[in-house]
Structure 1
Amino acid sequence: MYKRILIATDGSPLSDKAVASGLALARLSSAKVVALKVIPRYPRNYFEGGLPIDSADIERVEKQWSDAAQTLVDKVRDMGEGEGVEVKAVLAKSDLVAEAIIAAAKKHKCDLIVMASHGRKGLKRLLLGSETQHVLTHSHIPVLVLR
């Protein structure tokens, strides 16, 4: 069935459900897992939505985000080991979340991407966009979306 499954997570409760389901599927199909968290970079200027702060403060914030992301994927790795699933914890730094997910799936030769839907509906979905929708429409690798 599946040999390597990429599970994208952001640490939200809905994403936690997708992680649990992805790990269960990996266990059933004897697949390996790549647990991925995409870390955005801090906006550098006003036009990107950032505040004018010192570069040392930006580095501190980005390190905090990176540390929190590492803790998150390490948690997924530990959950997988508890279920007998081999999990590789991976971080990607990018403002283009969907593209980073697709690129990581290709790089690690995954044959399935598992991720949560965001749960937004109506106008919010249109205004904010959807990383899940982008992955669904641009990935050549099958995508399992969980709600």
Structure 2
Amino acid sequence: MYKRILVATDGSKLSQQAVEHALSLADLTGAEVVALKVIPRYPQTYFEGGVALAAAEVARIEKQWHDEGMAAVNAVKSAGQLLEVKVKPMTVKSDLIAEAIIAAAKRSKCELIVMASHGRKGIKRLLLGSETQQVLTHSHIPVLVLR
């Protein structure tokens, strides 16, 4: 059925549900899992919401974000080993999270994207946006959303 499943994670409790479902589905179908964490770049200007920092400090912050991202995807790999599911950990640096998820799924030749949704509504959804909604809208690859 599926040969490769991408699971988007940020290491949160909510995304852990998506990880568990993706690993279970991969175990049932014999698929490989691509664990993805999209890492944003540090905002460089006041208009992007950033605070002016020295280049070395920005590099330190971005390295910390990368290390935390690697820890999140390596945790998926460890969980996969318990189920004997092959997991490829991957991080991508991008400010466009939904686009990065779709691009990574295409690049990795995934047949399914698994991700969680906070289920925000109303003004919260308008203000905070919905990466899951963007993936659902723009992906030609099937998407399994968990809440």
Residue of structure 1 equivalent to 2:36: 36
Residue 104 of structure 1 aligns with an amino acid whose one-letter code is A
Residue of structure 2 equivalent to 1:104: 104
Deviates more, 1:122-131 or 1:58-67: 122-131
Where in structure 2 are there 5+ consecutive unaligned residues?
none
SS of equivalent to 1:27: helix
Q: Tell me by how many angstroms 1:4 deviates.
A: 0.3
Identity of counterpart residues, as a percentage?
67
Which aligned segments of 4 or more residues in structure 1 are displaced greater than 4 angstroms? none
Residue 91 of structure 1 aligns with an amino acid whose one-letter code is T
Residue of structure 2 equivalent to 1:85: 85
Residue 24 of structure 1 aligns with an amino acid whose one-letter code is S
Q: Tell me by how many angstroms 1:121 deviates.
A: 2.0
Residue 124 of structure 2 aligns with an amino acid whose one-letter code is K
Aligned residues: 147
TM-score by length of 2: 0.98
Q: Tell me by how many angstroms 1:120 deviates.
A: 1.6
TM-score by length of 1: 0.98
Q: Tell me by how many angstroms 1:11 deviates.
A: 1.2
Distance in 2 between residues matched to 1:146 and 1:40, nearest whole Å:
23
Distance in 2 between residues matched to 1:20 and 1:131, nearest whole Å:
20
1:53-68 matches, within 5 Å, as 53-68=53-68
Where in structure 1 are there 5+ consecutive unaligned residues?
none
1:13-24 matches, within 5 Å, as 13-24=13-24
Q: Tell me by how many angstroms 1:119 deviates.
A: 2.6
Q: Tell me by how many angstroms 1:118 deviates.
A: 2.0
| Per-residue Cα deviation, 1:18-62 (whole angstroms, up to 9, x for no partner) | 100110001001100000000000000111110011110000000
SS of equivalent to 2:7: strand
1:1-12 matches, within 5 Å, as 1-12=1-12
SS of equivalent to 1:44: coil
